[in-house]
Amino acid sequence: MAYLLADSPFNMKDESVGRIKKAIQTYFNCVFTPELKNPRAFDNTRFSPYTVPEHFYNLPALAALSGSTFDPELANLYDWLISLREKLDPMDSYWTNKLDEVSIERKNFEHPKLQVMSYSSLGVKRNENKWMTTVRGHSKYVYPFESWGPSYFAYSLFMANGFLDVTYWDDLGSTSPKEGVWINGYDWHRWTGATTVRLPYDKMITNPGQIKDEGGEYLFSDQPFVGGVSSKEGNGVFVFPFKGHDAFNIQSFSGKKSYFFFDDYVVCLGTNIKSDLDEYDVETTILQNEIKGSTPLALSTENISAFPYEKTLSSTKPFWMVDNRNTGYYIPSVPKNTTLNFQRKEQVNPDAHGLEDVKGNFTTVWFNHGKAPQDISYSYAIMADSDSQKMDAFATAMKSKEKPYEILQQDEKAHIVKAPKLKSTAYAIYDESVILKKERLLR
């Protein structure tokens, strides 16, 4: 409509066209792979991953021609989109010619390096067409998921408790198979990056209708904030406090989580994790990957290829891991009153609708904070598109004076992380009364 009215007395103001531009840019920044699909953090949980419809490819071209002046950024975005096609559509040529009539100058389109979408409780770190790191939270204003019963999706309870995943150009995510919707045997308690309570499945199955006047299930938290900040350089922070919902009798379960994005790595912090549930463990999952082929879990100390395999650590020196998706992990220590657990085995869990048990082989690594933990903290980092050499260099740099990152504060009042080489410091302030020391301020 904006394009059709552009040369008429009823044309949209540039301010309105600018809002359309922002929506288009955000829309295409949140899809990945050559087929332009949504990673799981954006997607609904019932269906196959959302894929951009064919006729949406033309949106940037229309918007580029809808304002009082030509928009080269949107023209560049359009060129990038049609470059992904194996074969051009006739309409592609039509809109390319329309753009060329105004200007034939083009530049390579560059996606935002980091985008925090507080109204969607999402954070997106993107390295063009190489990888995308996503994180998902929730608050009293942004619900964690929408459910209409087990036929929709049965076990979405903890999906927005800090689900952190890496998508690659040829691999949509750790929860997404090449075909189908879900990987058989996936443990619905262990969304990567999430902090959860290990409830029995019959106590965490979705149950719409518990909330008055709500047909679906929208389990808003009572915590007021989710969101963060980002810079053009791609550094920033995503943060949210969480509290379990009384609809599932887990209101005593709470904590604070933050994710600090620097370059190609994310520093993950948690504090004040507690629960009064003395029957069920509280966990923070680092990774849960389907085992494919013979690729081991590579550690700085060993390669783990044994199957089945289980190991529990109560303490450790700093070490790194690289999984079979080429995501790296740096573990500085095992938190107090916590164990670090490794597992490679066949998992048997309900399917996505709770109809039957299904099984699959997985490598899983997680922090077990124990039953009824009080005031637990954790920290670790992940690195996208990594390998043993990169992680070894990262771990070595963490021993130097100019570390890749340094945690300046991690308590109930604030999470503050500094990246000296990047000359960047990020702050997550939970208590307005906190007093920041001068050396922690970036001027």
Question: pLDDT (tens digit, 0 to 9) for every residue of the chain, 443 residues total?
Answer: 888 888 888 889 999 999 999 999 999 999 999 999 999 888 766 567 889 999 999 999 999 999 999 999 999 999 999 999 988 888 999 999 999 999 988 889 999 999 999 999 999 999 999 999 999 999 999 888 887 888 888 999 999 999 999 999 999 999 988 777 899 999 999 999 999 999 999 999 988 876 665 667 788 889 999 999 999 999 999 999 999 999 899 999 999 999 999 999 999 999 999 999 999 999 999 999 999 999 999 999 999 999 999 999 999 999 999 999 999 999 999 999 999 999 999 999 999 999 999 999 999 999 999 999 999 999 999 999 999 999 999 999 999 999 999 999 999 999 999 999 999 999 999 998 887 775 555 43
> Is residue 88 in some structural domain?
yes
For residue 25, the enclosing domain spans: 14-102
306-347 pLDDT per residue, tens: 999 999 999 999 999 999 999 999 999 999 999 999 999 999
Q: Do the Cβ atoms of 132 and 124 come closer than 8 Å?
A: yes
The number of CA neighbours under 13 Å toward the Cβ of 436 is 18
Q: What is the pLDDT of residue 172?
A: 92
| Residues 203 and 348 reside in one and the same domain | yes
Q: Supply the Cα-derived Rg of the chain in whole angstroms.
A: 23
pTM for the model stands at 0.94
| Residues 149 and 92 reside in one and the same domain | no
Distance, in Å, from the CA atom of 57 to the CA atom of 60, rounded to the nearest integer, reads 7
| Residues 98 and 118 reside in one and the same domain | no
| Residues 87 and 213 reside in one and the same domain | no
Q: Do the Cβ atoms of 408 and 246 come closer than 8 Å?
A: no
SS3 of 346-384: EEEEECCCCCCEEEEEEEEEEEEEEECCCCEEEEEEEEC
| CATH number of the domain encompassing residue 320 | 2.70.98.10
| Residues 95 and 118 reside in one and the same domain | no
| Residues 94 and 126 reside in one and the same domain | no
Q: What is the pLDDT of residue 178?
A: 79
Total domains present in the chain: 2
Domain endpoint, select from 70, 102, 134: 102
Domain endpoint, select from 49, 81, 102: 102
Distance, in Å, from the CA atom of 266 to the CA atom of 349, rounded to the nearest integer, reads 30
> Is residue 192 in some structural domain?
yes
DSSP letters spanning 121-174: TEEEEEETTTEEEEEE---SSS-S--BS-TTT-S--TTTTTTEEEEEETTB--T
Amino acid sitting at position 439: E
Q: What are phi and psi of 18, to 5 degrees?
A: -65, -35
| Residues 364 and 332 reside in one and the same domain | yes
DSSP letters spanning 60-123: HHHHHTSSSS--HHHHHHHHHHHHT-SS--HHHHHHHHHHHHH----------SEEEEGGGTEE
Of 342, 378, 375, 101, the C-alpha closest to 257 is 378
| Residues 340 and 384 reside in one and the same domain | yes
40-65 pLDDT per residue, tens: 888 766 567 889 999 999 999 999 99
Distance, in Å, from the CA atom of 420 to the CA atom of 318, rounded to the nearest integer, reads 20
| Residues 426 and 328 reside in one and the same domain | yes
| Residues 234 and 343 reside in one and the same domain | yes
β-pair partners for 319: 331
| Residues 177 and 197 reside in one and the same domain | yes
Distance, in Å, from the CA atom of 167 to the CA atom of 128, rounded to the nearest integer, reads 12
> Is residue 138 in some structural domain?
yes
Domain endpoint, select from 72, 102, 132: 102
160, exposed or middle or buried, with CB in 10 Å at 0-12, 13-18, 19+? buried
> Is residue 107 in some structural domain?
no
β-pair partners for 136: 122, 163
| Residues 262 and 153 reside in one and the same domain | yes
> Is residue 293 in some structural domain?
yes
173-189 pLDDT per residue, tens: 999 887 778 999 999 99
DSSP letters spanning 5-68: TTTSTTPPPHHHHHHHHHHHHHHHHT-BTTTTB--TTTS-SSSSPPB--GGGGGHHHHHHTSSS
> Is residue 108 in some structural domain?
no
